[in-house]
Chains A and B, each alone.
Chain A
Amino acid sequence: MLEVTQPARLGRRQWGSVALQATLVAVVGAFAYGAFVNAAANLAKANIASGFRFWNNTAGFDISQTLISYSPSTSTFGQAFWVGLLNTLLVASLGIALATALGFTIGIARLSRNWLVARLAGGYVELIRNIPLLLQILFWYNAVLKALPDLRSSIPLPWGTFLNNRGLFLPRPQIGGGFGYVFAAFMIGAIATVALRTWTRRRQDSTGAPPHVLPHALVLVVALPLLVFFLAGSPLKFSFPEMGRFNILGGVEILPEFAALLLALTIYTAAFIAEVVRAGVLAVPHGQTEAAQALGLRSGGILRLVVIPQAMRVIVPPLTSQYLNLIKNSSLAVAIGYPDLVQVFAGSVLNITGQAVEVIAVTMAVYLCISLVTSLLMNLYGRSVGIVER
């Protein structure tokens, strides 16, 4: 017997529900509008400047790490905003990548049959989870600073690199004319690798032949661009850092603030991700592991081919939360002077212009956007790893 489908028109109950929701939206909207108007009126009454005219005024202050070109005398507050935003995205993206790698390792290590490995991983998680992140950031900053030598006694590393308490100074690559061809060759190699992988997977489904992608991938992605590089005349020079009177000049500088923040965020979030991964792995029914063992797979293969793909369905939602936490926690950079969005925009720009309402509103909106985009991407990924029949 077929089920009766819903009628196309809305009944009386549905109309009532729609009316209620419309009223609620109207009330919330009126409240928000009223709050906005009230704030604007109060600011005007107190003679406090409002509006976004300050966006195009000269900034006047210097920023210690800028991924785009910035000069205190010509750049505007708007450009300072972008500098801060890029710094936040840099530390957040690197932090997410490293924390995921470390977190997965620790989480799986905690489930190891080796008693020492499991206990060490457990100890790590329990210790790191229970210390506030701000303290950990300060600890790493002071540990990094105190451990490294003074500028004048820098540690020289291979390839002209210097390490001291002002940062890690690497040779700066200077890209010559023909580098476009090398980049194009790299992209061609990457796309060819992906196509190859899809083809070998299909071949495996139909004939059972195992996919040997790795050697071919190496040739395509590494050897091909390298060949083009030499053919184009090696269009890559390096400028090396040199010791000046006060500082090391030239080269790429990695600030100790950046390193300390990245280290603290990675270690802290990895502890939480480890527990999420452990929960995901334990959620996979033990019958899967037994069946995989019966098939003759060893523990590495069981994890990689059977357990983790099924665990991902449970891991992805809490993992998204941890990523969002990491992004928001990166704002603690204020404590150690890393010029992220909060420090540059909601710190320096706010103090100089005095327009707290606009600056904080923009900062909150930016963090909201970053978080929404991250959770959207993670939800898309989660849908793709979800088990279809459940």
Chain B
Amino acid sequence: MKRFATAIGIAALVVLGAQAAFSQTLKTVQDRGELVCGANGSLAGFGMPDPNGNWVGFDVDFCRAIAAAIFNDPTKVKFVPLTPGNRFTALQSGEIDVLARNTTWTMSRDTTLGIDFAAVTYYDGQGFMVHKSLKVNSALELNDASVCVQQGTTTELNLADYFRSNNMSLKTVTFATADEAVKAYDSGRCDSYTTDSSGLYGERLRLSDPDANIVLPEIISKEPLSPAVRQGDDTWEDLVRWTHEATVDAEELGVNQRNVDDMLKSSAPDIRRLLGVEEQFGQSIGLTNDWAYRIIKAVGNYGESFERNVGQGSPLKIARGLNALWTKGGLQFGLPIR
């Protein structure tokens, strides 16, 4: 009798497990009809409104990918601009569903804030920008320099660490927003401005004379930028994570925005699993089986999104570098969808 009951129980688990997984956050998003995404609001290339008021950027495209996967419509996203001060509180309180705001994945943030990081979408590092007139070629020459920095970021901490470990002394000038920090640097209040290297290229475009400033070669820290979600909703976290993995897998397999419709007819097993022609991975994250097809159709694969927002197709012209595919010497390694 006991073995029969156990067998019935296991069978029930198998049946239930095969059905669509439930996520409270996903249900809230679907009921609301749009995704609420925490964004930067003023970082060129990552998340800011263009002159017509439409949000564009690398992190913005990631949120649009999630919206496309859920609603088959990448425009069903509301962006909430956040500062480093309130970005985690907004996520913890439920004001936003996902935080895609060039946020570094660190242990303290992962363990003490009640949030989880989904996947590293951009491998970055902190750098320095200086006025060309100072004739500085390396960050090691910046002893006693004044550095403008935005408060509440890993940037602030890395800056102090770097100067201490190289026995240099430092004068920081901290500001609440990156805008003020850049403006103060531009006016000559500081000798140098420091932030993630991707941000340096973006901010340089906004200076009064971009060519009078150079970005120093040193990268002084690891800044793995990752979208974040609240703890407690594992299915939602899986959804966000596999949205990123799908875009990287697509680039590895050669699937892009233009050829994704043709790729539906492909016979390669990897592509068929990715686009949902075979198997039913969409259900296990609460979506339809063509979830990855929707993502690629809406925003393209990882490489397309990168080049369009921060790469050669954008004013920033950042090289793929660490963000190239692992087959090309970079760190982006798509987890297998199977």
Contact = CB atoms under 8 A, between A and B. Distances in A.
A249 B230 CA distance: 47
Interface string A301-325: 0000000000000000000000000
A165 interface: yes
B173 A348 contact: no
Interface string B105-129: 0001101111000000000000000
A355 B113 CA distance: 8
Interface in B133-161: 134, 142-146, 151-153, 156-157, 159-161
Interface in A230-282: 244-247, 249, 256-257
Contacts of A73: 160-161, 164
Interface in A334-361: 334-337, 339, 343, 347-348, 350-356
Interface in A51-76: 60-64, 72-73
B221 to A, nearest CB: 12
Given A165-B189, A246-B146, A336-B180, A61 B89 contact: no
B159 A62 contact: yes
Most buried by B among A49, A72, A244, A339: A72
Given A48-B112, A247-B171, A351-B153, A61 B160 contact: yes
Contacts of A294: none
Contacts of A166: 146, 189
B145 A145 contact: no
A47 interface: yes
A146 B156 CA distance: 26
B217 interface: no
A146 B172 contact: no
Nearest to B232: A46
B292 interface: no
B288 interface: no
A356 B89 contact: yes
A215 to B, nearest CB: 47
B143 to A, nearest CB: 7
Contacts of B191: 246-247
Interface in A199-245: 244-245
Given A72-B164, A165-B189, A348-B151, A249 B172 contact: no
A211 B314 CA distance: 80
B184 A352 contact: no
Contact of A348 (B113, B161, B174, B231): B174
Interface in A125-166: 145-146, 150-151, 165-166
Nearest to B88: A354
A348 B175 contact: no
Most buried by A among B111, B151, B159: B151
Contact of A49 (B112, B171, B172): B112
Nearest to B113: A354
Main secondary structure of the interface of A (DSSP, over half): loop
Contacts of A46: 92, 114, 230-232
B176 A334 contact: yes
Contacts of B157: 60-61, 352
A352 B174 contact: no
Most buried by A among B113, B156, B157, B173: B173
Given A64-B172, A334-B176, A351 B151 contact: yes
Contacts of A343: 151, 174, 176
B160 A249 contact: no
B33 interface: no
B237 to A, nearest CB: 13
B188 interface: yes
B170 interface: yes
A337 B160 contact: no
Interface string A99-119: 000000000000000000000
Given A63-B174, A166-B189, A354-B88, 20 more contacts: A48-B113, A48-B114, A60-B157, A61-B156, A61-B172, A61-B174, A62-B156, A62-B160, A62-B171, A72-B160, A72-B164, A145-B184, A150-B188, A245-B144, A337-B173, A343-B174, A347-B174, A351-B84, A354-B109, A354-B112
30 contacts: A61-B172, A62-B156, A62-B159, A62-B170, A62-B174, A63-B174, A64-B172, A73-B164, A166-B189, A245-B145, A246-B143, A247-B171, A247-B191, A334-B176, A336-B175, A337-B175, A337-B176, A337-B180, A339-B174, A343-B174, A343-B176, A347-B85, A348-B151, A351-B85, A351-B152, A351-B153, A352-B157, A353-B112, A354-B108, A354-B112
Interface of A: 43, 46-49, 60-64, 72-73, 145-146, 150-151, 165-166, 244-247, 249, 256-257, 334-337, 339, 343, 347-348, 350-356
Q: Which 7 A-B pairs have the closest CB atoms?
A: A351-B152, A72-B160, A49-B112, A246-B145, A46-B114, A62-B172, A48-B114
Interface of B: 84-85, 88-89, 92, 108-109, 111-114, 134, 142-146, 151-153, 156-157, 159-161, 164, 170-176, 180-181, 184, 187-189, 191, 230-232
